[in-house]
Structure 1
Amino acid sequence: MQTLQQYLQELKYYIWQMDGSMCSELLSFRHLHVKNQRLQLEDAHSQCSQALDSPYDELVAAHLRGCWAVARSDYVEAFACEAAAIQFFVRAFQSHKDTNWGLPVMYTLISDLHMFARMADRDQKRKGVGKPNETVEKAADCMMSCFRVCVGDNRSSLDVSKKWGIIAVVNHLFKIYFKINKLQLCKPLIRAIEGSTIRENFRVSHLVTYRYYVGRKAMFDNDYKLAAEYLTFAFEHCHRSSRRNKRLALVYLIPVKMFIGYMPSIEVLRQHNLMEFSDVARSVQEGNLRLLNEALSRHEAFFIKFGIYLILERLKVIMYRNLFKKVFLLLGTHQLPLKAFIVTLQMLGEEDMDIDEAQCIIANLIDKNYIRGYISYQHKKLVISKQNPFPRLPSPDAKIAIG
């Protein structure tokens, strides 16, 4: 079993060699050394200061105290130790001019920090102390120091730039901001990535995570075109063995695709175990209000779990468009009595539907360019255009394409 001196000498050697990969292993809480009782030290400052230069001595001392805390299942203390380690790392990282060898260390530190933050919050919730997600919010503040160091490296040449580390930090911050429901904090992070000259050259795994979260945010912002583009990238470039991640991307991509007129096939839904969407897609396509309401009610828990229930509720506007198109085809006239729509909606479960509510629905469809026409209040009719009354594409500001 490795002694403390052997561990410190090994770390010293790899720091001197600027070997970020090996240093990251020796500072990772997923490495076997964490279980070494000789390295589980409550206070190792004196030993570390004798073996290592500042601020590495403080960084490693904080890590060893973290090992001590983990052995006692004290994840609040482990988080505090990892947060301190990151601050000492940032000091060291800033002093490394024209080199980014420390990026693997940064990736490991922020990943472990995020892990301990979740575990600490879980423990505090079980004990009934603290506020919900209190520790992960602190983790986000700590990660921002790494983000600023990476963003601020404007002088190094591209091959040794710290900017390559931006996306890894951003992805962890995304996970936290989505968890605590503060999506507005994602905007400056997105600007930093989209404004980067190397945005297309980041590692594919990092880009998949980044575009997955940006796609989800775009969906909540009703920008379905951008959401479809980014979520499609995440789904198609996700490693084939990562079936869970592919399924997660589809959970959000399917509603977005339905908004722009593409219904998922039964084969795709079965392949990824997402049959909850089958009746939703069929009801929208058929203009079947009753089936849509039943599908949303039956799978309510699933849709709420992923935060897409209200998004799917908005599909009613497309369902109305398809339903009213069927009424138009059935009556074969461009002057449609409002009574026909009211009766149709009442038959499909909207028993309380009256003329005012029907006019409101129709006016909304006209406003979104799902129907071309106008309401004649005097004659209580919907007068639709003789040329393409149900256009495939709405006005550009609606950001929705209808199939």
Structure 2
Amino acid sequence: MLHLNAYASNLDQAAKHRDGASLAHLLSLTGKHAQPLLDFLGRPDRGPAAADRTLANPNPSYAGQFKRSLNKDGPWADMATAHVWALVALNPPTNPMTGLPVGQQDAIVAYQKQHEVVTALYRWLIEARDLPTGWALPLLYVVCRDLRKVAEQADQQLLANNQKAGKLEEASRLLQKAFSCCLNDRHSDMLVSRKMGTYHLATLLFKTYFRLNSTALCRNIIRGIGAADLPPLSAFPRAHRVTYTYYMAVFAFLREDYADAEKRFVEALALTHHKMKRNIELILDYLIPLLLLRGVFPSRKLLAKSARHKTLYGPFADAIKSGNVAAYDRQLERAEKRLMERGTYLVVERAREGAVRGLLKKAWILESKPARMSIESFRRYHHAAQCVGLDEDVRLGRLKPSELEAAKKRVEVDAEEMECVLANMIYKGLVKGYISHAHQLVVLSKEKPFPWYGPYRNKGEAAAKARAERETAERQKMPELGAAAGQGAAA
């Protein structure tokens, strides 16, 4: 147990010594002090004061005790009172016999009290605008983080009671004030200035706006930072830089500015410590789909950073390399839920064009690289590839043999649809040439008719020779596809 007097004494000492880290631990809703303090409040020998352990007492005794014992030069008494009240609301007492909670958690009351904690600290920081208050940043970080979390819990409770949820939105306005409080600090010495907390509060706001689906509000944060007199980003703590760069990348991703997003994700990954596995996975959730969309295969070194991502995206990369559209579609179906959760499904679906390009190129290679190739020939190879994939499904037990013929008819495309596919590939620069609609032919470029996404770089004669050898090997590896296409032509 933690005696109330001991808790108040620890708070008072931390405030007198301007120990922001200790204050942050003592006023955190997840701090180690929480359960021992709650156990003390509920002790039977406290008599009527034992009611402090519940929300039944509108005037808890600890409020007066904090006012008497804590330093009057600061918001510490009000913050401590509201903090303990929030702890009580979030942690209902348990039955000593059964160990089960007695009563319900009240996240709404906890949110109201946590809002009071942040408001008291914010007002004190504003009043002390000319004093060096940078030491209080660890405390500001913790109470603002707890405010966002408990606001989400309060909204869930309101929704469960068929009420309108608006606590997180309300909390975002207070977080905006805390951000401005850091951004506009007048103290010139950056070592003791609240400006050093600007990027941490910015990322907390980003996270809140993303949850509220109000990403447009992120522009206000970015503009505010751009107009402020701040040190370069490199002068801030590494953790702040990584998180801010990550959220800026996510914001660019949501705007479909994929080039900027990829650049920022790469920067965030380079800054992230190799032991921070969770952070690396969050970055790779977006970075790998962006690489696939641009036609860049994730390196072995990159995939080695996360076994989960290797399992998830490895089959996509293999399908693009081999031009196996059927395999790509099967993996897309298996990974749909995971990709939808991260919001990257549409990007991975668009990257399917790489597999289609690979299939068209293999059809061209099997036909001995003609200058002109009929749309019907491309259609036959496309259908043959799909049928090979269905045969594999039958072998692996994913498809019943009795359903095979019906499945083959479903995946067959007509000439008009194939022409649309080819026109789309030409438009996007994945195939060089043009379509003669009257003759139903594709006239291919003499030089690199199947370029990759980026501009082609001449790597010399050795590379060209190695490429020719690979293409010859591809012809030998694909008798099944060529035979299937031939059967389609005979039919």
Alignment correspondent of 1:164: 196
Cα contact 1:151–1:163 (8 A) shared by 2:
yes
Alignment partner of 1:319 is 2:319: no
What letter is aligned with 1:58? Answer: D
In the TM superposition, what is the alpha-carbon distance from 1:47 to its structure 2 partner? 4.0
Alignment partner of 1:69 is 2:86: no
Alignment correspondent of 1:59: 79
Alignment partner of 1:208 is 2:228: no
Alignment partner of 1:335 is 2:372: yes
Cα contact 1:98–1:160 (8 A) shared by 2:
no
Structure 2 residues not aligned, in runs of 5+: 42-51, 93-104, 387-409, 456-491
Change (3 A) 1:117 1:345: same
Between stretches 348-357 and 16-25, larger displacement belongs to 348-357
Alignment correspondent of 2:99: none
| SS of residue paired to 1:375 | strand
Change (3 A) 1:220 1:366: farther
List aligned pairs for 1:209-358, cutoff 5 A.
209-264=243-298, 269=303, 272-274=307-309, 275-331=311-367, 332-349=369-386, 351-358=411-418
In 1: Cα distance, 2:450 partner to 2:218 partner: 37
What letter is aligned with 1:172? Answer: L
In the TM superposition, what is the alpha-carbon distance from 1:85 to its structure 2 partner? 1.1
What letter is aligned with 2:359? Answer: L
In the TM superposition, what is the alpha-carbon distance from 1:361 to its structure 2 partner? 2.7
In 2: Cα distance, 1:365 partner to 1:220 partner: 25
Between stretches 230-239 and 110-119, larger displacement belongs to 230-239
% same residue: 28
TM-score by length of 1: 0.85
Change (3 A) 1:368 1:188: farther
Alignment partner of 1:95 is 2:166: no
In the TM superposition, what is the alpha-carbon distance from 1:315 to its structure 2 partner? 0.9
Tell me the alpha carbon deviations over residues 210-262 of structure 1, each in whole angstroms, 9 at most, x when there is no partner: 23333333334333332223223333433333323322322222211212232
| SS of residue paired to 1:319 | helix
Between stretches 255-264 and 322-331, larger displacement belongs to 322-331
In 2: Cα distance, 1:131 partner to 1:318 partner: 46
- Over the aligned positions, Cα root-mean-square deviation in angstroms equals 3.0
Between stretches 305-314 and 85-94, larger displacement belongs to 305-314
Between stretches 234-243 and 252-261, larger displacement belongs to 234-243
| SS of residue paired to 1:208 | helix
Cα contact 1:290–1:348 (8 A) shared by 2:
yes
In 1: Cα distance, 2:142 partner to 2:162 partner: 28
Alignment correspondent of 1:114: 148
Cα contact 1:287–1:320 (8 A) shared by 2:
yes
Cα contact 1:224–1:260 (8 A) shared by 2:
no
Cα contact 1:75–1:116 (8 A) shared by 2:
yes
What letter is aligned with 2:177? Answer: S
In 2: Cα distance, 1:179 partner to 1:115 partner: 11
Change (3 A) 1:71 1:316: closer
Change (3 A) 1:17 1:285: same
Cα contact 2:430–2:451 (8 A) shared by 1:
yes
In 1: Cα distance, 2:142 partner to 2:190 partner: 22
In the TM superposition, what is the alpha-carbon distance from 1:48 to its structure 2 partner? 3.9
Alignment correspondent of 2:477: none
In the TM superposition, what is the alpha-carbon distance from 1:352 to its structure 2 partner? 4.6
Cα contact 1:374–1:382 (8 A) shared by 2:
yes
Alignment partner of 1:184 is 2:221: no
In the TM superposition, what is the alpha-carbon distance from 1:272 to its structure 2 partner? 1.7
Change (3 A) 1:18 1:327: same
Alignment correspondent of 1:400: none
Cα contact 1:247–1:272 (8 A) shared by 2:
no
In 2: Cα distance, 1:12 partner to 1:378 partner: 87
Cα contact 2:209–2:215 (8 A) shared by 1:
yes
Cα contact 2:434–2:442 (8 A) shared by 1:
yes
Change (3 A) 1:185 1:272: farther
Cα contact 1:120–1:135 (8 A) shared by 2:
yes
Between stretches 372-381 and 385-394, larger displacement belongs to 385-394
Tell me the alpha carbon deviations over residues 18-75 of structure 1, each in whole angstroms, 9 at most, x when there is no partner: 2222222221223333231456575455444444246443333222322332332322
Structure 1 residues not aligned, in runs of 5+: 396-403
In 2: Cα distance, 1:279 partner to 1:14 partner: 55
In 2: Cα distance, 1:313 partner to 1:363 partner: 18
In 2: Cα distance, 1:263 partner to 1:305 partner: 23
Alignment correspondent of 2:407: none
| SS of residue paired to 2:33 | helix
TM-score by length of 2: 0.71
In 2: Cα distance, 1:231 partner to 1:119 partner: 30
Alignment partner of 1:129 is 2:162: yes
Tell me the alpha carbon deviations over residues 290-318 of structure 1, each in whole angstroms, 9 at most, x when there is no partner: 11111111232222233222221111222
Alignment correspondent of 1:368: 428
Change (3 A) 1:192 1:163: same
In the TM superposition, what is the alpha-carbon distance from 1:5 to its structure 2 partner? 4.8
In the TM superposition, what is the alpha-carbon distance from 1:394 to its structure 2 partner? 5.0
In 1: Cα distance, 2:251 partner to 2:223 partner: 14
List aligned pairs for 1:79-90, cutoff 5 A.
79-90=111-122
Alignment correspondent of 2:395: none
Cα contact 1:231–1:249 (8 A) shared by 2:
yes
Alignment correspondent of 1:141: 173
In 2: Cα distance, 1:360 partner to 1:390 partner: 17
Alignment correspondent of 1:399: none
| SS of residue paired to 2:449 | coil
Q: Which structure would you say has the larger Rg?
A: 2
Between stretches 295-304 and 357-366, larger displacement belongs to 357-366
Cα contact 2:292–2:348 (8 A) shared by 1:
no
In 2: Cα distance, 1:201 partner to 1:145 partner: 23
In 2: Cα distance, 1:352 partner to 1:2 partner: 72
In the TM superposition, what is the alpha-carbon distance from 1:168 to its structure 2 partner? 1.5
What letter is aligned with 1:92? Answer: W
In 2: Cα distance, 1:224 partner to 1:218 partner: 7
What letter is aligned with 2:30? Answer: R
Cα contact 1:211–1:234 (8 A) shared by 2:
yes
Alignment correspondent of 2:32: 32
